[in-house]
Amino acid sequence: MALRFRKSFKLAPGVRMNVSSSGMSWNLGPRGASVSIGKRGTYLNASLPGTGLSSRTRLDRPSAATPSRAPAPMVTMKLTLDLSDEGEMRYLDQAGNEVPAQIIAEARRQQGDKIRQMLETKCDEMNANITALGQLHWDTPDPAAPVAFVPPAFAQTPPPEPEKAVVGFAERLIPGRRQAVDGENSRRRAEYEAQLSQFEKEKSAHDGWRVEKRILFSGAIAGNPEPMQQLLEQRLGEIVWPKETLIAIDVSPNGRVLFLDVDLPEVEDMPTKRASLPARSWELALRDVGEVATRRLYQAHIHSLGFRVVGEAFAALPTVHTVVVSGYSQRADKATGTVSDEYLYSARIDRGQWSGINFAALDQVDPVEAFTRFELRRNMTATGVFKPVVPIPAG
């Protein structure tokens, strides 16, 4: 049987050592308020003599209601999801640096739904951009629309008048205060006048440019070859082409026939993969679509490109009756290895034939088939393999 004993030794006023079978403890302090130090912890004992009221609070470990330390402050980090056209994904901080793997894991834990939504959006965007290569003709203008000069607006606004600083009644008593305010007003005025002068200079240049644009437009509408060429070059240059596009323009002396030579991209420039997002993955998967699908995309792209160029010409130049469009590509001769231009198609299109297209439903128009309505030189297989042709000559 375990023996339990307890004995007190008086050591000094306010200090007691208690000895028992469970160990030693110390009581420090006067009656009514003391600190107990023992095996089970350190406590503050407080009582009001004569009332029977007392309390006991542990000091070496906080109570459940009082946390031992303040929680770590929440840190907010802004991450950017960078996804290349090849499907390579990176998580970047605000400085553009890649973040550690543990932060990526935490971001996926906290914002998993948003990240997957971003990935799905990027996946759809990548595939839509590829599909759009064969849909350039969707934005072709209707040649029946009236041709009008739309003067380019001057986007800037004049600078506002500077707010004048004033001297308060009490400030007048401060030595030098009036001089400081007058100096500040002079500085503001000088800055405003410099900005106003720059604004007027740029507006004057813009007004002169607008006059040149109007003169150019008038000359092109009248059928003058040089203004016609310049106007069409400007119009085609304002289009954002998905691939680098070079177009040579030649106008007949009477302004009725237009010759367009289009430098087409190579079939090797076409994207060969499509994106998908697997159900349990945080990475986009790119799959190869095969040679036949790539060639079909290529034939749709180069015909859609030619269609759009012809449409822009008929819409911009009302005196043009006929457009001859020829598309060529750079090919390496297998016998010599030298690179030369090879024409893949050439078509002569009259305005009357062109006007027969339903421009309100261009999404239903196949540009590859549309070219068969015109005088056409093209040697192409069903899978999009081209053999060179001789272009329709000028004259």
Q: What's the pLDDT tens digit per position in 329-383?
A: 988 777 777 888 899 999 999 999 999 999 999 999 999 999 999 999 999 998 8
Is residue 159 one of the residues assigned to a domain?
no
Is residue 190 one of the residues assigned to a domain?
no
> 56-77, pLDDT tens digit by residue?
666 556 555 555 555 555 667 7
- The continuous run of DSSP H or E covering 316 comes out as helix 291-316
The DSSP bridge pattern shows strands 257-263 and 322-332 to be parallel
Domain identity same for 101 and 10: no
* Cα atoms found within 13 Å of the Cα of residue 337, Cβ hemisphere only: 0
Domain identity same for 218 and 288: yes
In this predicted structure, what is the pLDDT of residue 382?
85
DSSP reduced 3-state for 389: strand
| Mean pLDDT, range 279-293, rounded to an integer | 87
Domain identity same for 117 and 143: no
Is residue 127 one of the residues assigned to a domain?
yes
Domain identity same for 245 and 367: yes
Q: Does the pLDDT of residue 227 top 60, yes or no?
A: yes
Contact criterion met (CB below 8 Å) for 267 and 226: no
Is residue 249 one of the residues assigned to a domain?
yes
Domain identity same for 42 and 142: no
Total number of domains constituting the chain = 3
Cβ neighbours of residue 168 under 8 Å, at least 6 residues apart? none
Domain identity same for 108 and 144: no
Provide the domain limits for residue 46: 6-58
Q: Distance between CA 111 and CA 79 in Å, rounded? A: 11
Q: Distance between CA 259 and CA 160 in Å, rounded? A: 51
Arithmetic mean of pLDDT over the chain:
82
In this predicted structure, what is the pLDDT of residue 304?
97
Kindly report which listed range (151-160, 232-241, 278-287, 339-348) carries the lowest average pLDDT score. Answer: 278-287
Domain identity same for 128 and 143: no
pTM for this structure? 0.69
∠ CA(251), CA(389), CA(311), 5° rounding?
40
DSSP reduced 3-state for 373: helix
The DSSP bridge pattern shows strands 257-263 and 246-251 to be antiparallel
CB-neighbour burial class of residue 79 (10 A; exposed 0-12, middle 13-18, buried 19+):
middle
Domain identity same for 344 and 219: yes
Is residue 287 one of the residues assigned to a domain?
yes
Is residue 165 one of the residues assigned to a domain?
no
Q: Which two tokens stand for residue 156?
A: 């800037």
Domain identity same for 118 and 222: no
Domain identity same for 12 and 148: no
Domain identity same for 268 and 353: yes
Domain identity same for 41 and 104: no
Number of residues written out for the chain: 395
Q: Does the pLDDT of residue 384 top 50, yes or no?
A: yes
Give the residues across from 9 on adjacent strands: 17
Is residue 65 one of the residues assigned to a domain?
no
The pLDDT confidence band at residue 23, using thresholds 50, 70 and 90, is very low
Is residue 164 one of the residues assigned to a domain?
no
Q: Does the pLDDT of residue 167 top 90, yes or no?
A: no
In this predicted structure, what is the pLDDT of residue 19?
40
| Mean pLDDT, range 152-166, rounded to an integer | 88
Q: Does the pLDDT of residue 1 top 70, yes or no?
A: no
Q: Does the pLDDT of residue 309 top 90, yes or no?
A: yes
Q: Distance between CA 345 and CA 372 in Å, rounded? A: 11
Amino acid identity, residue 171?
E
Q: Distance between CA 30 and CA 374 in Å, rounded? A: 113
